[in-house]
A and B are shown apart, each in its own frame.
Chain A
Amino acid sequence: MLTFVVRRILQSIPLLLLISMILFGIISEAPGGPLTPYLQNPHITEADIVRLKHNLGLDQPVPIQYLHWLGQVLHGDFGYSMSNSEPTINAIGDRLGASLQLMGSAIGLALILGVIFGIISAVKQYTWVDFLITTLAFFGQSMPVFWFALMLQLAFSVNGFTCCGYHIALPSAGLSSGDNFDLGDRIQHLILPVTVLSLAYLALFSRFMRSSMLEVIHSDYVRTASAKGLTRFNVIMRHAFRNALIPIVTIAALTVPDLVGGAVITEKIFAIPGMGNLFINALGQFDFAVLMAFMCLTAVFVVLGNLLADVCYAWLDPRVKYT
């Protein structure tokens, strides 16, 4: 097990180096290079630019620049974010929490509901409940996120709505109303964006859970359990459910990079100060350091997520061999 993990980690190092090289090459192609934010600043003269270029090593060939960048990153220095006027690492630190809260709530909610829906859907295959859940999954899969977000804002926050005699208008932007943290307030701000994001994940999880559960239900050992005279509930929850959960754990592990990367579209529409928002703002000004840090960080988590998925799979299912 340990050798498997170590080998996989060692294998992913060249992969990540190659990815960072490709990304560096692509992002260096931006017109103006890493100094683009300064080119738009009227207070910075031509001579300043030349001096900055020299000081930052930007007058050197791209491969040399890459090695320089890599050296810095390996020392934990992701460079200076020119659009945020602070070190990139601080900019990311400020935004990471919001994305983790948003994505964590969305994926967590979708995971719980998806597993429950998937089980019900499989156990009641071809009934109206199954039809309803499958339809919901199809909608989740086909829904344009940005439109769903706008429609929810239109329905629940623009004019508000009346429920149980109360007039409610859910907040449509940001994560808090005041400067102080307040749990109720935070939850109110999270309701709409979390609903938007969790629908797509719910579709994914419930469909996987349904097909995995169906496969298990029709297997011999489940039939044996029923034949022994166990109650239906016991058969489903104690025997079928556990094994059906294995593929879901794998799929859930693959969503790890989303936790860190945030959601570009949803964060933009709901003005949530998370990673997605940081990225899209950096892109507008070609903020080199932030773009590189964001892309490489998410790529690292994609690779880690894949590793986690494989490890979970092998750990949960002893029939799987490590190779």
Chain B
Amino acid sequence: MAANFVPNVGPPIDVPAEDAFQPSRNTVWKRFRKHRVALIGAIVLAIIGTFAALGHFVYPVDPNAIDQVNWTGYPLAPGVAGHILGTDENGRDLLARLIAGSQISLTVAIATVLMQVVIGSALGGIAGYYGGWIDFWIMRFTDVVLSIPLLPLLLVLTAIVSATSNKASLSFVVIIVLIGALTWTATARLVRASFLSLREREFTEAARAIGSGDMRIIFRHLMPNAVAPIIVQATLNVANVILLESALSFLGFGIQPPQASWGNMLANAQSNITIAPWVAIFPGLCILIVSLSINYLGDGLRDALDPNQR
């Protein structure tokens, strides 16, 4: 640790932000590569990302169009009348809806996690850096948010928002903001904990001694050192948010039809499960594969970036 103290010579220059500490990119990649399953997870995610981004060019079928010609009131089986994965109970092409759903589910998950990271790092960083009563009140606020069970609270909030707004459909932005506003607590605690120890270290003292301001110390010196666990947690949280959003949509309080999401595609599947199991199987399989890949990816990232945290 002492080796990282950079003596201040000459004009107030930047204290290099602890490069010596951070494993070099090369080491990180080497460690990550060893985790085979994580590598597979990353590849699967890349494929699904491409599928979400480009799927509708390869398979240009309108996800909300009803197949008037062939639909008889029952879901069409996979392969019937050119529907590769069949149709749902309203005669809409399942593959096209899966592609549309993947765009929504992934966008919501990534945007929500970005929001968590921004709010969580800001509040956790301020609490950990300044300490004292600021820390006390921010952490009490965190306790309040953590003490209300998440899923019921989200259900209440989405129900009220959708009932009070005149629009029949709940915008996916609302879902992002609501989930993001309630799930930053873990990130905040994580950042606070690392800031509490980092602010006592020699390099922080050195930075302060050469006259760096609080903002500079926070963003140039502390954040870069706290970033590894944040990345790992954010990755794992993408999977959690996908599960949460799909659960909300499944219960009818998330993404509203006709807009497809992997969760709401399953909402009506239960009543048709005897005659059309494929309607239930495919969307859930997508959720499982994506969240499994993300969990393995996060596990690999943890091994690579943050080997002490296990």
Q: How far is the CA of A235 from the CA of B69 in the complex (A)?
A: 71
Size category of the binding interface on chain A: 35 or more
Query: Is B287 interfacial (CB-CB < 8 Å)?
Result: yes
Q: Which chain A residue lies CB-closest to B277?
A: A154
* Contacts between chains A and B (CB distance < 8 A), count: 127
Chain B residues near A31 (CB, 8 Å)? 160, 163-164
Identify which of residues 266-310 in chain B touch chain A, using a CB-to-CB cut-off of 8 Å.
266, 269-270, 273-274, 277, 280-281, 283-285, 287-288, 291-292, 294-296, 299, 310
Interface members, chain B 142-165 (any A CB < 8 Å): 143-144, 146-149, 151-153, 155-157, 159-160, 163-164
Q: Give bound CA distance, A291 to B147, whole Å.
A: 16
- What's the dominant secondary structure at chain A's contact region? helix
Which of chain B's residues have a CB closer than 8 A to the CB of A283?
155-156, 159
Whole-angstrom CA separation of A144 from B296 in the bound complex = 16
**A302 CB contact (under 8 Å) in B149, B266, B281, B295:** B149
User: Contact flags (1/0) for B185-213 with A, using CB distance below 8 Å?
Assistant: 00000000000000000000000000000
| Residue among A145, A146, A159, A298 with max Cβ neighbours from chain B (10 Å) | A146
Does B250 sit within 8 A of A, measured CB to CB?
Answer: yes
Contacting residues, chain B, for A138 (C-beta < 8 A): 292, 295-296, 299
Query: Complex formed: what's the CA distance from A23 to B147 in Å?
Result: 12
Digit string of A27-51 for contact with B (CB within 8 Å is 1, else 0)? Answer: 1011100000000000000000000
Q: A138-B295, A265-B250, A303-B147 are in contact. Are A144 and B152 (CB under 8 A)?
A: no
Residues of A within 8 A of B239 (CB): 141-142
Q: Which A residues touch B149, using CB under 8 A? A: 257, 261, 295, 298-299, 302
A19 adjacent to B148 (CB under 8 Å): yes
The CA-CA distance from A297 to B156 in the complex, in Å, is 15
| B141, closest chain A residue (CB) | A18
| Range class of the B interface residue count | 35 or more
> How far is A144 from B288 in the complex, measured between Cα atoms in Å?
6
Q: CB-CB < 8 A to A265: which residues of B?
A: 247, 250-251
User: What are the residues of chain A within 8 A of B147 when measuring CB–CB?
Assistant: 15-16, 19, 299, 302-303, 306
Of B148, B273, B291, B292, the residue contacting A295 (CB under 8 A) is B148
By beta carbon, the residue of chain A nearest B239 is: A142
Nearest CB of chain B from residue A172's CB, rounded to whole Å:
9
Is residue B243 contacting chain A, with contact meaning CB distance below 8 A?
Answer: yes
- A180-207 with Cβ < 8 A to chain B: none
Contacts of A23 in B (CB 8 A): 148
Task: State whether the Cβ of A9 lies closer than 8 Å to any Cβ in chain B.
Answer: no
A-B contacts, 8 of them at CB < 8 A, read A15-B144, A31-B163, A31-B164, A144-B263, A153-B270, A159-B274, A265-B247, A302-B147
Q: A15-B144, A142-B239, A302-B147 are in contact. List 8 more A-B contacts (CB 8 A).
A: A31-B160, A145-B243, A146-B247, A147-B266, A147-B288, A154-B273, A264-B155, A298-B148
